[in-house]
Amino acid sequence: MADTVKLPEDSFKRINADDRAALDSEKIAAPSLTFAQDAWRRLKKNKGAWVSLIVLAIVFIMAFGSLVVSPHDPNAVHPSYANLPSKIPGININGFNGTLVQAGERIDAYKQAGASSKFYVMGTDYLGRDLFSRVLYGTRISLIIALVATLFDLTIGVTYGMFSGWKGGRIDTIMQRIIEIILSIPNLVVIVLLILILKPGMTSIIIAIALTSWTNMARLVRAQTMEIKEQEYILAARTLGERPMKIAFKHLLPNLSSVIIINTMFTIPNAIFFEATLSYIGIGISSPQASLGTLLNDGQKNFQFLPYQMWWPALVLSIIMLAFNLLGDGLRDAFDPRTKE
């Protein structure tokens, strides 16, 4: 006996356009992501980089927000409140409760100075200036110097690298020789020489760092440009008679962006380091202006007796450097999936 298969009648209905769309929605496919979205997704997965990004955001907001609201005036001098240790209200741990050891005894330094009602989160320096406000102020100056210098050396490096890689041949060789010569003098020596000529100050530090640190960027961009320049879409653009300038902006630059962004993340902490070193040596930012380097220098003088005056700026400086380095690492992995696992 042959069973007749009974199929439901509605299986044989005509599908109209609406139903077809409903069927398509059952397809399993990841949403298509652009390169940037993809990189962003990978970056968010990287814990270190993600935390760094948040830390940097907080540092930036605090450093630049202190322009508007600062706990104290970073330059207001109160000689009677000099060298007070750190005091955070509500926390009673030695080191954060405004006490310090004097002649073998732990005493409340705030009571002694007649400032029991006041509190300075990071303490005060030798002139009674609020260290927290000064650290915020110093961070701001350090960041401004690093960012502006990086912006300049990005411009120089990218232009130089693209030009050198694009032109190739003899021009490229000469341009690379120039880079090699610059690289054969330690950067800091050149920076010091330039600052001596330009007179110490913020502008000359920025110029000096910008003029010396672009070589790395230029090399990377050149190598990448030489690779991209052989691609078909560049050939197509050339065949269509596109001007080199337009090719550079429309085709080269977007494709170089990951190299540029990653390298920038490593240039910024370098610039911060150079600035701190210069200020530490004593040819950087001069008072009453302050940067993390000058704060470190001031703190180091009293480190034996008042270690917190150096610990705080050192901590902030290290955290900023750490965050930029981790973020740079994360971005490198995010932009280059091959390095992932």
Partner 1 sequence: MAKYLAKRIFYLILTLFIVITVTFFLMKLLPGTPLTNQAKLSKSQIALIYEQYGLNKPVWQQYLLYLAGAVRGNFGTSFQFSDQPVSYLLSSRIGPSLQIGLQAMIFGVILGILVGSFGAMRQNTWVDTTATVVSILGISIPSFVLAVLLQYYLGLKLGWFPIAEWGGFIYTVLPTLALGATPLAESARFVRTEMVDVLSSDYIELAKAKGLSRTGVIYHHALRNSLIPLITIVGPLAVNIMTGSMVVENIFSIPGIGEQFVKSVLTNDYPTIMGLTIIYSFMLCVVLLFTDILYGIVDPRIRLTGKAN
Q: How far is the CB of 230 from partner 1 (least distance, A)?
A: 19
* Cα torsion 272, 278, 283, 288: sign: positive
- Closer to partner 1 at the Cβ: 47 or 246? 47
Q: How far is the CB of 152 from partner 1 (least distance, A)?
A: 20
CB 210, CB 204: distance < 8 Å: no
Q: How far is the CB of 34 from partner 1 (least distance, A)?
A: 28
CB 169, CB 249: distance < 8 Å: no
- Closer to partner 1 at the Cβ: 72 or 294? 294
Q: How far is the CB of 43 from partner 1 (least distance, A)?
A: 17
- Closer to partner 1 at the Cβ: 110 or 335? 335
Residue 298 β-bridge partners: none
Measured from the Cβ of residue 299, the count of other Cβ atoms closer than 10 Å reads 21
Q: How far is the CB of 142 from partner 1 (least distance, A)?
A: 12
- Closer to partner 1 at the Cβ: 63 or 220? 220
Q: What is the DSSP string of 95-108?
A: TTBSEEEETTEEEE
Q: Which long-range contacts (CB under 8 A, 24 or more apart) does 277-281 make?
A: 277/188, 278/191, 278/192, 278/195, 278/205, 281/192
Applying CB under 8 A, the residues found at the interface with partner 1 are: 176-177, 180-181, 183-189, 192-194, 196-197, 199, 269, 273, 276-277, 280-283, 296, 300, 303-304, 307, 310, 314, 317-318, 321-322, 325-326, 329
- Closer to partner 1 at the Cβ: 113 or 327? 327
Helix, strand counts (H, E) of the chain: 14, 2
